[in-house]
């Protein structure tokens, strides 16, 4: 290939990357203008409205790391705590994660088209999009995870104070954002031990990171078992299957998207086949002492303007990616079994989604024929595009804002407002009229007040888990009005 052809290839790749990033930005921006806050986002909005000292104490009392709230506190002071304003930082973090992922993919793959495919899959991934417009720390966790692995890979080829500072800072920030990111350090530690290179340097870096993280480590160590077992399922085969489907199909409890569960199962099976093939490839290359990279280099597969002609990846890069996916998963399942069943919630392991996509994109390049590679890439893209229309067809969060606005137009001062768990916290954020009386739903159902008008808000989740709520309402009260909102039902009832 002559220099002119190389320049044209680089220019075309930059244009394609720009279009991918633009598509990712549009997909992440659209939902922030329409959806109400859900419970955790209201907690964020309330927390950042407090003075910093009070905010930190509030988050620690609720067993959360205050780091994310400290980061966005100045932003909230300037731009407010509206739904759009408070979600913009998560959108920006998600876009930065896409950009960093591009550089990682270029270092993983010898061919530029596979790196572009991987970035495109992450750009249209419903798991990444769903949390990119949520006023929580999860997009920042993915960004910090990618930065940590990016600097970690850079340190295999070179050294320097800037690289070590970048790696240590990204790793420390990741830990302070969420304790569930601790397994990623174990991944990197296992990889360093396997290669037996710069063990002392990395050990010193991790020791410094651990020392700086010590205050939060002591705090988490002293925490009792969290009281969340009432609304999180134990780890069983169904929860595990839902988790793997949700890596591609998020959120997996959406009624429209549940119809795609069969396709999600097929995708999961194919992924495990690819994972096994990648493990076999890395092990065979390691045992037979094959060249460690696709272009004959002595380190990792490095992306440049013109990558190597060989489509293989470094067995060391393959090993790191396998560990990146398997180790956090195994540690998280183990923690869920012995302490707290949070495994079914993908947001706590969002940092493994890039590894998941790297493995899928690697599988598309396994074929020898160019035609088969194109077919495999097209199939992957279609699989990721397939759920997007259903994903955006309806709100994925309860329409609390719309429900409260509808009630306030029709209710009278002195009416009783009640609902399923946590309704009052959301009402205090969205309310415009404070003349309603708030009562626990259990008290209303147990002892109806004579001749009182009551507004009851029942979320779809509570309706499925506690169907007796609506049964009691229909059998013990006169229903004056009923209005269905996204993931919510509002009843105006009259006590006999």
Fold of the 400-494 domain: Translation Initiation Factor IF3 (3.30.110)
Alpha-carbon dihedral 171, 177, 179, 181, rounded to 10 degrees: -50
Position 420 confidence tier, pLDDT thresholds 50, 70, 90: confident
What is the per-residue pLDDT across 178-190, written as a single tens digit (0 to 9) for each? 888 888 999 999 9
- The first and second tokens of residue 374, run together, are 């194109």
For residue 248, give the nearest of 263, 237, 233, 235 by alpha carbon.
263
Using 50, 70 and 90 to split pLDDT, how confident is the model at 475?
A: confident
pTM of the model: 0.86
Residue-wise pLDDT for 225-266, tens only, equals 554 445 555 666 666 777 777 777 765 556 666 666 666 677
Q: Across all residues in the chain, what is the average pLDDT?
A: 80
How far apart (Å, rounded) are the C-alpha atoms in residues 373 and 366? 7
| Structure token pair of residue 253 | 């409890």
Distance CA(453)–CA(456), nearest Å, equals 10
Digit-coded pLDDT (tens) for 6-46: 434 466 778 899 999 999 999 998 878 888 888 889 999 98
Segments making up each domain of the chain, as ranges: 3-393, 400-494
220: nearest Cα among 325, 43, 66: 66
Residue range 372-380: mean pLDDT, rounded: 88
Alpha-carbon torsion 40, 45, 48, 49, what sign? negative
Q: What is the DSSP letter of 450?
A: T
- pLDDT for 139: 93
Buried b (16+ CB within 10 A) or exposed e, 273-300: ebbeebeebbeebeeeeeebbbbeeebb
Check pLDDT > 90 for residue 319: no
């Amino acid at each position: 290939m002559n220099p002119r052809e190389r320049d044209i290839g680089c220019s075309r790749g930059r244009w394609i990357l720009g279009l991918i990033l633009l598509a990712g930005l549009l997909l992440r921006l659209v939902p922030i203008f329409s959806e109400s806050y859900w419970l955790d986002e209201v907690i964020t909005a309330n927390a950042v409205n407090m003075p910093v000292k009070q905010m930190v104490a509030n988050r620690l009392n609720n067993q959360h790391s205050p780091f994310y709230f400290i980061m966005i506190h100045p932003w909230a002071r300037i731009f407010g705590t509206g739904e759009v304003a408070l979600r913009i930082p998560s959108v920006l973090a998600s876009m930065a994660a896409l950009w960093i992922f591009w550089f990682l993919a270029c270092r993983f793959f010898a061919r530029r088209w596979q790196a572009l495919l991987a970035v495109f899959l992450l750009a249209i991934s419903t798991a990444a999009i769903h949390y990119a417009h949520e006023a929580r720390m999860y997009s920042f966790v993915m960004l910090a995870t990618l930065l940590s692995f990016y600097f970690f890979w850079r340190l295999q080829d070179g050294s320097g104070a800037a690289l070590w500072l970048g790696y240590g800072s990204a790793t420390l920030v990741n830990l302070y954002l969420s304790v569930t990111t601790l397994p990623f350090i174990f991944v990197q530690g296992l990889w360093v031990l396997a290669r037996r290179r710069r063990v002392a340097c990395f050990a010193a870096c991790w020791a410094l990171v651990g020392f700086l993280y010590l205050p939060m480590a002591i705090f988490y160590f002293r925490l009792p078992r969290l009281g969340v077992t009432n609304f999180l399922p134990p780890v069983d085969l169904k929860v595990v299957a839902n988790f793997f489907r949700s890596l591609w199909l998020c959120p997996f409890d959406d009624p429209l998207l549940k119809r795609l569960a069969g396709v999600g199962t097929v995708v999961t099976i194919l992924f495990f086949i690819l994972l096994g093939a990648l493990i076999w490839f890395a092990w065979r290359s390691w045992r037979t002492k094959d060249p460690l990279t696709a272009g004959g280099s002595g380190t990792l597969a490095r992306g440049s303007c013109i990558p190597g002609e060989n489509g293989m990846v470094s067995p060391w890069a393959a090993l790191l990616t396998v560990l990146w996916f398997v180790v956090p998963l195994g540690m998280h399942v183990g923690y869920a079994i012995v302490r707290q069943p949070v495994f079914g919630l993908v947001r706590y392991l969002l940092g493994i989604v890039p590894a998941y996509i790297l493995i899928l994109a690697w599988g598309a390049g396994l074929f020898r024929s160019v035609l088969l590679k194109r077919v495999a890439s097209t199939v992957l893209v279609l699989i990721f595009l397939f759920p997007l229309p259903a994903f955006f067809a309806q709100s994925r969060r309860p329409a609390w804002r719309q429900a409260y606005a509808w009630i306030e137009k029709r209710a009278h001062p002195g009416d009783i407002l009640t609902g399923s768990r946590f309704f009052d916290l959301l009402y205090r954020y969205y309310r415009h009229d404070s003349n309603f009386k708030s009562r626990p739903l259990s008290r209303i159902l147990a002892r109806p007040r004579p001749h009182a008008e009551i507004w009851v808000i029942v979320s779809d989740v509570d309706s499925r888990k506690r169907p007796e709520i609506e049964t009691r309402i229909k059998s013990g009260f006169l229903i004056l009005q009923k209005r269905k909102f996204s993931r919510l039902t509002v009843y105006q009832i009259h006590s006999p």
